[in-house]
Amino acid sequence: MKINKEGYRIIGVTGICCLAIWFYAYFFIDSWASFIWFMAALLLVFWFFVAAFFREPRRVQIHDDELIFSPCDGRVVVTEVVHEKEHIDCEMMQISIFMSVTNVHMNWMPVGGIVEYFKHHHGRFLVAWHPKSSTENERTTTVVRLKDDRRVLIRQIAGFVARRIVSYVKVGEPMAQNSVLGFIKFGSRVDILIPKDSELFVEIGDPVIGSQTPIARLKRNN
């Protein structure tokens, strides 16, 4: 396991701040030695907790053109048919996955194909489970065109705590299934909109693992 590059600066600054607080307490606060070392332990735990946000696990990259994989770690909070209005303009099956602060915060490409559309939207920072977070929060929208011209939409959504979305996609570039899509700092939510006639494998409340858990199967074209 390694640390994602998005965390280098935050982890470094946090470490410096923790050291500064401890040195100040050690040299300038007249207190018991046991309290000083207790503070050191707390600061160390806090630093490891921040570092854990940016962990990048090594995972087997699975390829299956019929399967749609989870784009992130977390828990399914929505499965419903919605009308996608931003780009595709048709009814699609939406699967929403909430990432808690303890989940891995990397995002993966659930299908393979060509990036047809990408847009970053500035917006609000409602809690990720709010019904309007999909359309009103800061978010990115990525649409991938598959080999058979069907399309899948992935939406990275910032939440109340997570206010920094990073996406590595570029319009016109091919993306392999389960390659790294981006990163949401400090967790939030990812929506994936797939063809309405897909076979769904998950229900609300199910835990999923990014790039490893198949969440749906595309209907075969005759």
The set of catalytic residues is 188
φ/ψ (deg, to 5) at 95 = -120, 120
- Residue 79's nearest CA partner among 98, 92, 96, 67 is 96
Helix %, strand %, coil % of the chain (to 5): 20, 35, 40
In this structure, what DSSP letter does residue 3 have? E
**Amino acid, single-letter form, for residue 44:** L
Single-letter amino acid code for the residue at 2:
K
> Contacts for 211-214 with beta carbons within 8 Å, 24 or more apart?
211/59, 211/61, 211/62, 211/69, 211/70, 211/71, 211/108, 211/178, 212/59, 212/60, 212/62, 212/69, 212/70, 213/69, 213/70, 214/64, 214/67, 214/68, 214/69, 214/70
